[in-house]
Structure 1
Amino acid sequence: MINQTSLNQLIRDAIEQALGEVPANAETLYKLGTSLYHMNQLQEALTCLLRYIGLQPGNCEAYNLIGNIYAKVNQLDKACSYLKQAIQINPAYAEAYNNLGGVYYQANQLEMAEQILPEAICLRPNFYEAYKNLGTVYSKMNRLKEAEQVLLQAIELKPDYADAIFTLSLVELLTEKFTQGWKNYEYRPSLINRKQPDIPRWQGEDLSGRSILLYHEQGLGDTLQFIRYAWQVAALGAKTTVWIQTPLAQLEFQGSPAFSLYEGTDSPPEIFDFACPLLSLPLIFSTDAATIPQYSSYIRADANLVQKWREHLKGIHDTGLLKVGVAWAGNHTHTDDHNRSIAFDTFQLLFLLTGLEWISLQVGPKAEEVNCCPSQIRDVSVLLTNFAETAAVIDNLDLVITVDTSVAHLAGAMGKEVWALLSSMPDWRWMLEREDTPWYPSMRLFRQRERGNWVEVLARVKAALQQKMAKHNFSRHY
């Protein structure tokens, strides 16, 4: 068997041979570039295909592949340029129209995507991928009825089309069509692509005297949100173990030991009767907005860590001012991060409000942005090494203001007052229009009224914060 190192060497040798031929063999370059593309060897594929179109500039499929490669590495201007050249060479090339629409969507140019994708469908009426992509665009534009219609068309053309079924589930859950939404949510990519534990999948069977492993599958925020179902599972009589991500391992859960926790990269060694991913539990329990498991708080900070942070933040405690934690950016690898996160230059408009204590809860690459802000903000990011530390800081605060990221879920699960700032088309879990959420009673939602306009959102947050400050100051003096 050839290992990866040997394979990479073979690839490099093949590329050098193809590029070194004089005269260069265009057909070899094209075949090699295409093969490398399908092997996800993108840079090597690009090298071959660029050399190929220098020899054979009339092959629309080569331009399409180059456009796709640039899209995959997020060089969207180049991706658009090559896909447009593919269309110029062959105006009937439906695949290139569909890919160009995808690039426009990736660049958040939704109106352009809306214009170009119907061209692909017109050229190829059974083009189910283009229907799905158009449905995704409509959903992001908050045109949900149109999104549902075209997604159903995609599924009619290809009944087992998992991507379209999953995308449809997001629309259904967003609009509170929970019965069908949870069913279709079982087609989510993270569930399909993840290696499942070699344990029988729980579908709702009697758990009396049995054992079950509930396991994470998506982000940290998802685990924090859906671990609430572990208490319901344990109440059915099962010996319950929850497999969580390592950063969450030191958090404390109310009511333990209703279930035990396990962290690790591999499945626990114990033998279980059943296993179930956390995000499949709402389906099994037939969850709707009225039956979401309600807990005012189900995660607590370690008392020793809370005291440690109280000492660390002693200076701001002594002022008697409101203590407000903030996070303006989520995981930069999230596919919707460009909509969910707020540029710091915009977010810092909040910091013009004085008479309170600001504490940055931001971690990751964006944490250092606070150093450029002239306002007085306590930056504790280097000490937030896990969620137990973050929880202990939050326990010492009066309010958390954050974008849609794991900090919002942590604060909500702790029962801390938290204001979540949401894009005009938020993740399905926040539903539509409402300013509250049945997932977290202590959370208030501030939604964009216009796509991309965070300034208006922050103006409302600032006004609400001024009102809260006035009440706080009144109670301090009387």
Structure 2
Amino acid sequence: MNVSDPALLARIMGLMCEAIALRGAHQPEAALAALDQALLLDANFLPAHMQRAALLQETGDLAAAAAAYAACLDLVPDYDEARVAHRAVLEQWANALAQESRPRPDQLVTLARLHYLLDQPRQALLAIEGARPLATLDEQALHADILLRLNRHEEALECYPAGVASDEARALIAFNRADILRRMGRIEAAQAGYEEALRWIPDFPQARVGLAHMLLTRGDYAQGWRAHEARFQIPELARNAIASPSPRWQPGEEVRGKHVLLWAEQGQGDCLQFVRYLPLVAQQAAQVTLCAPVGLLAVLAPSFPQARCVAHVNEAGPHDCHASLLSLPLLLDLPHPRQGPQAPYLQVDAARLQQWQQRLAQTAEASPRRPRIGLAWAGRQYATPHPSRDVPLAELLPLFELPVDVISLQLEIPQADQAIHQELGGRLQTFPLADWGDSAALACALDLVISVDTAVVHLAGALGLPCFLPQRLEGEWRWGVEGAGSLWYPSVRLFRQQQRGQWGSVVEELVAACRARFADWA
């Protein structure tokens, strides 16, 4: 939507109005042509994408409509209108295929893919098994993904055939199997699989990044950060890079006297974790600008006065070079987490903190005051969700039996948790949060944060707040493979899952740790 040229915007809007008129005149092909012209002028103009997707759905081209709505979500992953419309198209398409009396194998594969996208893995498995034998590697990978979603990892490993002929097929199979082994928590075997894939195709960026994550998980930070730079060769990640006219800051390059643009590359948690290195860049460069998600600016701008903080690259002004925050350990030659700045490195607005303290005091029902625990049990529910990371809210009910006040730090309630969330009512206190500045101030007014591996745990860790992290068996590179401590955040304590998909023992440990922590609470 950020079109800076008024004349260009006028042309785009004119084409969209033309498309609306043609649609009303029952000329859908001409209307689509007008919208295609608009997108040639600006491929990222979201309203044109949305109008095009709706028109395709109206004409009955459900495959194209689904792809068009997916393009909208590529641009704005948390755009609710596009998400709802995309799901409606997928459901319409799946219902149409399900009505086929004698579906072809390719139709069953498509139906399986649709059920998978709709998070209906059991229906997806029925469809994909009806299409067997699966002829292509893509179909076999879909079968494996469905089994993984059903927590049947060992079966997923068996989805790939032996004796394939081409180097490319061998590399892809090795990579896919390595990814499954990683999800099983078998780090050494996964690393060997990524290395095998690279032997077949040395220029395989996804395998290089997979290997990087295994190296980082095992604490080989020097090699891990170097290998991690291959992510810029992955098209899906490259599309998310900023459109900067300046060159990337390269390892070994001097930045003294330069204006450096730093940018948040992936999730909000990554931004909160790696922004710690910004002051070190500011010590070298003449000027630093940070481009970060707009919701984070309320906590980032006060914490880093040595940088100018913006939400869009076109607000950054002329700069000499740019770098992703995730590249800073490599660029600054500080590979080990303990070599970089230590938490706490974020600050909270004192006035906001006082407001939240007063608000919590006003809503407290018990006297004397009880311990306050902030809870975030799931990550984002758009783009690429990670269900194995999230803890079902029902599993956490033992926390609500403690003599504490539980306050929600959860911004989006997963669909599967909405019923139990309503049943909890006031037992899970919920407040509107305008931005991450509010989240930070609220968290600082609490006595403990419990969060799964999402942005909330990084916020708590960066503020130096005590935080319990229930961690899935497959883990994640930044948390290592063993132990309860974190190299990145001394205030974070990990509670590691021992059996894949099972949270019962983890929740028992969390409850026991809360009882011990607040045993002397007066």
TM class, shorter-length: 0.7 to 0.9
CA distance in 2, matches of 1:6, 1:344: 38
| Residue 449 of structure 2 corresponds to residue 403 of structure 1 | no
CA distance in 2, matches of 1:405, 1:61: 37
| Residue 128 of structure 2 corresponds to residue 83 of structure 1 | yes
**TM-aligned CA distance change 1:336 to 1:131, over 3 Å:** farther
For 1:78-477, what aligned pairs fall within 5 Å after superposition? 78-88=123-133, 94-117=137-160, 119=161, 121-124=162-165, 126=167, 127=169, 128-188=171-231, 189=234, 191-196=237-242, 197-204=244-251, 205-251=253-299, 256-264=304-312, 266-289=313-336, 291-315=338-362, 316=364, 319-333=368-382, 335=384, 337-354=386-403, 356-366=404-414, 369-373=420-424, 377=427, 379-382=429-432, 384-470=433-519, 472-473=520-521, 476=522
Which deviations, in whole Å up to 9, do the C-alpha atoms of 1:131-186 show, x marking residues without a partner? 21111100111112221222222222222222222222222211122222212222
Is contact 1:36-1:45 (8 Å) kept? no
CA distance in 2, matches of 1:51, 1:115: 28
What RMSD over aligned residues (CA atoms) do the two structures have, in Å?
Answer: 3.2
Which deviations, in whole Å up to 9, do the C-alpha atoms of 1:205-253 show, x marking residues without a partner? 2111110100112111111111111111111133111111111111156
- Name the amino acid aligned to 1:460: E
Normalised to the residue count of structure 1, the TM-score between the two structures is 0.83
CA distance in 2, matches of 1:95, 1:3: 32
CA distance in 2, matches of 1:322, 1:371: 23
CA distance in 2, matches of 1:389, 1:44: 37
Is contact 2:372-2:407 (8 Å) kept? yes
1:261 CA drift (Å): 1.2
CA distance in 2, matches of 1:173, 1:424: 17
- Name the amino acid aligned to 2:117: K
**TM-aligned CA distance change 1:14 to 1:287, over 3 Å:** same
**TM-aligned CA distance change 1:291 to 1:3, over 3 Å:** same
**TM-aligned CA distance change 1:347 to 1:255, over 3 Å:** closer
CA distance in 1, matches of 2:377, 2:92: 37
Moved more, 281-290 or 435-444: 281-290
1:406 CA drift (Å): 1.2
1:83 CA drift (Å): 2.6
1:361 CA drift (Å): 1.9
CA distance in 2, matches of 1:458, 1:445: 12
**TM-aligned CA distance change 1:122 to 1:99, over 3 Å:** farther
Which deviations, in whole Å up to 9, do the C-alpha atoms of 1:428-472 show, x marking residues without a partner? 1111112111211211111112212211111111111111112x3
Is contact 2:273-2:462 (8 Å) kept? yes
Which deviations, in whole Å up to 9, do the C-alpha atoms of 1:292-343 show, x marking residues without a partner? 4232311121111111112112254962432222222221236453111111
Moved more, 234-243 or 223-232: 234-243
Is contact 1:328-1:342 (8 Å) kept? yes
1:125 CA drift (Å): 6.3
CA distance in 1, matches of 2:105, 2:515: 59
Moved more, 365-374 or 409-418: 365-374
Is contact 1:253-1:298 (8 Å) kept? no
CA distance in 2, matches of 1:85, 1:386: 47
- Name the amino acid aligned to 2:430: V
Q: What residue number does 2:21 align with?
A: none
**TM-aligned CA distance change 1:344 to 1:48, over 3 Å:** closer
1:286 CA drift (Å): 3.3
- Name the amino acid aligned to 2:333: S
CA distance in 1, matches of 2:396, 2:52: 49
Which secondary structure state, in structure 2, belongs to the residue aligned with residue 390 of structure 1? helix
1:392 CA drift (Å): 1.2
1:6 CA drift (Å): 6.6
CA distance in 1, matches of 2:434, 2:474: 31
- Name the amino acid aligned to 1:445: L
- Name the amino acid aligned to 1:373: L
1:417 CA drift (Å): 1.1
Structure 1 runs not aligned, ≥5 long: 16-31
CA distance in 2, matches of 1:164, 1:239: 36
Structure 2 runs not aligned, ≥5 long: 1-32, 37-50, 71-85
CA distance in 2, matches of 1:149, 1:6: 45
Q: What residue number does 2:79 align with?
A: none
Is contact 1:49-1:66 (8 Å) kept? no
**TM-aligned CA distance change 1:86 to 1:242, over 3 Å:** same
- Name the amino acid aligned to 2:269: G
**TM-aligned CA distance change 1:12 to 1:250, over 3 Å:** closer
State percent identity of aligned pairs. 26
Is contact 2:128-2:143 (8 Å) kept? yes
1:344 CA drift (Å): 1.1
CA distance in 1, matches of 2:401, 2:54: 54
